[in-house]
Structure 1
Amino acid sequence: MAFLGSLKRGFSSTFSFFGESWAELKKVKWPNRKELVSYTIVVVVTVVFVTIYFTLLDLGISSIVRWITE
């Protein structure tokens, strides 16, 4: 019987969690289309720059290691 009680508490807390999460999501100020496009552009440009940086860093370190080991 205790198992069923704990199972009921588990389900009620799960449903309570989802209900509270839904209520919090309604409070969020979602970005409009213009903001979303600008944020997306910032993220894509940042990813491109970081990718170029690490690619050049990797090529540089690889060249140094190759030069040392030859």
Structure 2
Amino acid sequence: MANVGGFFKNVMSEMRKVSWPRKKELTRYTVIVLATVAIMAVFFALVDLGISEFFRWYLDL
């Protein structure tokens, strides 16, 4: 049980050393991530639509 207490003490010590982003940086990073996810979602939706249409056309031959 002493090891568990020492573990959490070490965790807290290490967390104090972490360089946390400022609010402005965090906002910028969040916007970048959301924009990237949206762009990738649109890209894969278009690719899926294209592949689906190709197979519909191919199977109707």
TM > 0.5 between the two?
yes
How many residues were matched structurally?
60
Q: Judge which range, 15-24 or 35-44, deviates more.
A: 15-24
**Separation of aligned partners in 2, 1:67 and 1:13:** 65
Gaps of 5+ in 1: 1-10
User: How far apart, in 2, do the equivalents of 1:54 and 1:45 lie?
Assistant: 14
TM-score normalised to structure 2 length: 0.85
User: 1:13: how far off?
Assistant: 2.2
**Runs of 5+ in structure 2 lacking a partner?**
none
1:31 match: 21
Counterpart position of 2:46: 56
Larger radius of gyration: 1
